[in-house]
């Protein structure tokens, strides 16, 4: 399993901007790619994006099997 966090500095891009890359990573790596949709700044104040990433990591650890 690969957790993928799009964008730069928690402020830009989204799942759609990296959909093609995630598909290639899944194919080339023969793995499941979990693309995380986290809250972007400035709409979501720090540390919202980081907290979303932590929750995604915890979910991935719990559901990896």
Q: Provide the greatest CA pair distance for the chain.
A: 35
Distance of alpha carbon 51 from alpha carbon 65, whole angstroms:
23
Q: Is the pLDDT of residue 14 over 90?
A: no
Q: Is the pLDDT of residue 40 over 70?
A: yes
pTM beyond 0.85, yes or no: no
Angle in degrees, CA 47, 50, 45, rounded to 5: 30
pLDDT score of 12: 72
């Amino acid at each position: 399993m690969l957790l993928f966090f799009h964008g730069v500095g928690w402020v830009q891009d989204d799942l759609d901007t990296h959909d093609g890359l995630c598909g290639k990573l899944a194919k080339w790596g023969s793995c499941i790619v979990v693309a995380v949709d986290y809250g972007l700044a400035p709409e979501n104040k720090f540390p919202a994006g980081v907290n979303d990433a932590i929750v995604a990591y915890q979910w991935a650890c719990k559901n990896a099997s």
